[in-house]
A and B are shown apart, each in its own frame.
Chain A
Amino acid sequence: MIRSSKSWQAVAVASVAGLVLTACGTTDEGGSGSESSGGGGGAACDVKLAFFGPETGPAAGLGKPIIQGAQLALDEYNADAECAIEMINYDSQGSPDEAPALATEAAGDESLIGIVGPAFSGESAAAGPIFAEAGLPTISPSATNPALADNGWDTFHRVLGNDATQGPAAATYIADTLSSKATFVIDDASEYGAGLAEEVTNGLGDVVVDTDTIQAGDTDFSATAQKVSASKADTVFFGGYYAEATILVSQLKDAGFDGTFVAADGVKDPAFLDAGNDAEGSVLTCPCIPNTDPNVAEFAEAYEAEFGEPAGTYAAEAYDAANVFLDGIAEGIDNREEMLEFVNGYDEAGVTKQVAFDEKGEPSEVHVYSYKVEGGEIVPEGEIS
Chain B
Amino acid sequence: MDFDFFFNNLPQLTITGLAFGAIYALIALGYTMVYGVLQLINFAHSEVFMYGTFATLWTVWALTGSGGASGLQLVGILLLALVMSMLSSALIALVLERVAYRPLIKKNAPRLIALISAIGASFVLAELMGLRDRVTGWVGLDDDLDRYVGGARINASMSGIVNMPNVEIAGISIKSVDLLVIAAALAMMVVVDQFVRRSKLGRGIRATAQDQETAALMGVNPTRTIQMTFLIGGLMAGVAAFLYMLKIEVTKFDVGFLLGVKAFAAAVLGGIGNLRGALLGGLLLGVAENWGAALIGTEWRHVVAFVLLVVILLFRPTGLLGESLGKARA
Q: How far is the CB of A320 from the nearest CB of chain B, in Å?
A: 22
Contacting residues, chain A, for B255 (C-beta < 8 A): 219
Among A215, A227, A247, A277, max chain B CB count under 10 A is at A227
CB neighbours (8 Å) of B157 from chain A are: 246, 274-275
Instruction: Say yes or no: B294 contacts A217, CB within 8 Å.
Output: no
A114 to B25, CA, bound (A): 51
Q: Nearest-CB distance from A110 to chain B (Å)?
A: 32
Measured CB to CB, the nearest residue on chain B to A55 is B153
- Is A215 a contact of B299 with CB atoms below 8 Å? yes
Q: How far is the CA of A30 from the CA of B175 in the complex (A)?
A: 63
Contacts A227-B5, A274-B159: A219 and B250 contacting too (C-beta < 8 A)? Answer: yes
Q: Are B173 and A256 in contact (CB under 8 A)?
A: yes
- Known pairs A226-B9, A230-B9; A60 contacts B298 (CB<8 A): no
B151 at the interface (CB under 8 A from A): yes
* A222: contacting residue among B16, B249, B250, CB under 8 A: B16
Given contacts A4-B134, A212-B298, contact A223 B159 (CB under 8 A): no
Kindly state whether residue A301 has any CB partner on chain B within 8 Å: no
Whether a CB of chain B sits under 8 angstroms from the CB of A243 is yes
The interface size of chain B toward A, counting residues with CB under 8 Å, comes to 43
Q: Does A76 contact B (CB under 8 A)?
A: no
Q: Is the pair A60, B293 in contact by a Cβ cutoff of 8 Å? A: no
Task: Give the distance to chain B from A238, nearest Cβ to Cβ, in Å.
Answer: 13
A276, B160: Cβ atoms under 8 Å? Answer: yes
Q: Is B323 an interface residue (CB 8 A)?
A: no
Which B residue sits closest to A3, measured CB to CB? B137
Report the Cα distance A278→B166, complex, angstroms: 15
Q: Mark B166-204, 1 if CB is under 8 A from A, else 0.
A: 100000010100000000000000000000000000000
User: Is A64 an interface position by the 8 A CB rule?
Assistant: yes
Inter-chain contact A61/B159, CB cutoff 8 Å: no
| Interface residue? B326 (CB, 8 A) | no
The reply on B317 being an interface residue by CB < 8 A is no
CA distance A61 to B150 in the complex (A): 11
Are the CB atoms of A223 and B13 closer together than 8 Å?
yes
List, in ascending order, chain A residues with CB within 8 A of B151's CB: 61, 271, 309
Question: Cα distance A255–B301 when bound, in Å?
Answer: 19
The digit string for A232-267, where 1 denotes a CB below 8 A from any CB of B, is: 000000000001001100100011100000000000
Contact A230 B137 (CB under 8 A): no
Contact partner of A61 among B13, B138, B153, CB < 8 A?
Answer: B153
Complex interface residues of chain A between 268 and 299 (CB less than 8 A to chain B): 271, 274-278
Answer whether residue A342 sits at the interface, using C-beta atoms and an 8 A cutoff.
no
Instruction: Please report the C-alpha to C-alpha distance between residue A219 and residue B301 in the assembled complex, in whole angstroms.
Output: 12
Chain A proximity mask over B140-174: 1 for CB below 8 Å, otherwise 0 = 00100010001101111101100000100000010
A212 to B294, CA, bound (A): 10
Count, chain A residues at interface, CB 8 A: 39
- Report A307-321 residues with CB < 8 Å from chain B CB: 308-309
The reply to whether the CB of B20 lies closer than 8 angstroms to some CB of chain A is yes
User: Residues of A contacting B150 with CB < 8 Å?
Assistant: 308-309
* A222–B8 CB distance below 8 A: no
Asked whether any CB of chain A lies closer than 8 Å to the CB of B290, the reply is yes
Alpha-carbon distance between A220 and B302 when the two chains are bound, in angstroms: 12
Q: Fill in one digit per residue for A67-85: 1 if any B CB lies within 8 Å of its CB, else 0.
A: 0000000000000000000
Question: Given A189-B299, A271-B154, do A60 and B130 touch, yes or no (CB 8 Å)?
Answer: yes
Main secondary structure of the interface of B (DSSP, over half): helix
**Any chain A CB within 8 A of the CB of B258?**
yes
Q: Say yes or no: A254 contacts B166, CB within 8 Å.
A: yes
Q: In the bound complex, how far is the Cα of B6 from the Cα of A338, in angstroms?
A: 61
Residue of B nearest to A219 (CB): B248
Q: Per a CB cutoff under 8 Å, which of A3, A218, A254, A256 touches B142?
A: A3
Task: Assess the A223–B298 pair: CB atoms within 8 A.
Answer: yes
Indicate whether B52 reaches chain A with its CB closer than 8 angstroms: no
Residues of B within 8 A of A220 (CB): 16, 20, 248
Q: Are A58 and B254 also in contact (CB < 8 A) when A213-B298, A230-B5 are?
A: yes
**Inter-subunit contact B159/A213 (CB<8 Å):** no
Say yes or no: is B252 at the interface (Cβ < 8 Å to chain A).
yes
A214 within 8 A of B: yes
B12 within 8 A of A: yes
Q: Is the CB of A213 within 8 A of B299?
A: yes
Closest to B286 in A: A220
Bound: A2/B139 CA distance, A: 11
Q: Shortest beta-carbon distance, A241 to chain B, in Å? A: 10
Q: Is the CB of A1 within 8 A of B137?
A: yes
Once A58-B254, A60-B130, A246-B159 are accepted as A-B contacts, the answer to whether A222 and B20 lie under 8 Å apart by CB is yes
Q: Report whether B146 and A214 are in contact in the complex, using a CB–CB cutoff of 8 Å.
A: no
Q: Which of B166, B248, B290 contacts A223 (CB 8 A)?
A: B290
How far does the Cβ of A292 sit from chain B's closest Cβ, in whole Å?
26
- With A224-B293, A308-B146 known as contacts, the answer to whether A218 contacts B258 (CB < 8 A) is yes
- Minimum CB–CB distance for B283 against chain A, Å: 14
Chain B: minimal CB distance from A204 (Å): 19
Q: Given A3-B137, A3-B142: A226 and B294 within 8 A (CB)?
A: yes
Taking the closest CB of chain A, its distance from the CB of B259, in whole angstroms, is 8
- Report A6 CB to chain B, min CB distance, Å: 13
B248–A247 touching, CB < 8 Å: yes
Beta-carbon contacts of A104-126 to B below 8 Å, as 1s and 0s?
Answer: 00000000000000000000000
B245-267 CB contacts (< 8 Å) to partner A: 248-250, 252, 254-255, 258
Does any Cβ of B come within 8 Å of A221's Cβ? yes
- Closest A residue to B19 by CB, please name it: A222
B294 engages A227 (CB within 8 Å): yes
State which of B8, B13, B159 has its C-beta within 8 Å of the C-beta of A276: B159
| Leading 5 A-B pairs by shortest Cβ distance | A276-B160, A222-B16, A274-B157, A223-B293, A61-B154
Given A1-B138, A64-B153, A226-B16, 16 extra CB contacts under 8 A: A2-B137, A4-B134, A189-B299, A213-B299, A215-B299, A218-B301, A219-B255, A224-B298, A226-B294, A247-B250, A255-B175, A271-B151, A274-B155, A274-B250, A276-B160, A309-B151
What are 26 A-to-B residue pairs whose CB atoms are below 8 Å?
A1-B137, A3-B137, A4-B134, A60-B153, A61-B151, A61-B155, A61-B252, A64-B154, A213-B297, A214-B298, A214-B299, A220-B20, A220-B248, A222-B290, A223-B294, A224-B293, A230-B5, A247-B248, A247-B250, A250-B249, A255-B175, A271-B154, A274-B156, A274-B157, A274-B250, A278-B160
